[in-house]
């Protein structure tokens, strides 16, 4: 699961403890959406840039 892997590798300890047990047990489900005008859903073609302070990430 891309969401679980992303949280496991990049999430803070607090985020991992909050979400991974519920995602792993099936109590919670999550999805990951990718899109960019020039690449559609081809994740390898995406270009990353720093976001604005209003962007919420974890």
Taking the domains of the chain in order of start, what are their residue ranges? 1-32
- What digits encode the pLDDT tens for the residues 1-58? 789 999 999 999 999 999 999 999 999 999 877 777 777 777 777 676 766 666 655 5
CA distance 21 to 13: 12
Dihedral angle of Cα 7, 8, 9, 13, to the nearest 10 degrees: 90
* Residues paired with residue 3 on neighbouring β-strands, in sequence order: none
Q: pLDDT at position 57, please?
A: 56
Which pairs count as long-range contacts for 13-22, CB under 8 Å and 24+ apart, including other chains?
Answer: 15/58
Say whether pTM exceeds 0.85.
Answer: no
CA distance 4 to 30: 8
CA distance 5 to 38: 26
């Amino acid at each position: 699961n891309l969401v679980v892997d992303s949280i496991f590798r990049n999430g803070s300890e607090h985020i991992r403890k909050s979400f991974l047990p519920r995602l792993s047990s099936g109590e919670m489900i999550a999805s990951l959406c990718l899109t960019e005008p020039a690449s559609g859903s081809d994740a390898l073609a995406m270009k990353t840039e720093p976001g604005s302070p209003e962007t919420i990430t974890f």
